[in-house]
Structure 1
């Protein structure tokens, strides 16, 4: 299996510094700062990149699981919301919400929920983030 890379450079102090994150594939390079991470400033942040990774991984895992069970999806859309909270005075990722919508012809709603839950638990990023207090899933089957 391939090894994926990303890098970051930070210049200056915590509050007045700035940084840039780079994906090894060169598909993304973006600035980040204290305001973009802990406030509502312009730029990206590590938690947003975790959310992107989790949403992308889960969408692929759900699609693969549905197909494997005989219900190839037309479309799977996922969003991850990473909650950064203060815990004992330290910023901590305590909760991740996965939201998904899927168009899957002919699947019973109960079977869809069962497959979605298993995909959430089996997705490699979910497994990597197992130390997060809670990873919830709200999966909606579209008509």
Structure 2
């Protein structure tokens, strides 16, 4: 797999479970979007972007993080694990270059505070196996999965 030599920009997102309804646009250059899971209409996730006009990389990271956090919920439910209310997924997608070629790479940072490390890592990796965005990127871009 070809690796990025020079990062041009990074799209960052922070996604958490949310009980709010609808979509809201926050002030101070922030974008706050409510995302839902197609399999569970009661699951709502908050995606907070850091720019008022998000980049394609940021939107991709936001969509990926919503799918991935839903996958975490599915895996936890299957394993009878109660997720912490302050769980979060931070995804960073870099746009970069290697020679004249444009490439993407990503980092998934998963925070499952209060869970034993081995349980948190098992859930994070199992979610990565079932998330359609993770499947689509696997083998196509360099992706690091970090459990914090």
Fold shared per TM-score above 0.5: yes
Kindly indicate whether structure 1 or structure 2 has the higher relative contact order, using CA contacts under 8 Å at least 6 residues apart.
Answer: 2
Give the structure 2 partner of residue 77 of structure 1.
88
1:1-143 correspondence runs (5 A): 43-75=53-85, 76-93=87-104, 95-103=105-113, 107-140=115-148
TM-score, normalised by the number of residues in structure 1: 0.60
Deviations along 1:35-66, one digit per CA (max 9) or x if unpaired, are xxxxxx97222111111011111111112101
C-alpha RMSD over aligned residues: 2.6
Unaligned runs of 5+ in 2: 1-22, 25-50
TM-score, normalised by the number of residues in structure 2: 0.58
Q: Distance in 1 between matches of 2:124 and 2:53?
A: 32
Aligned residues: 101
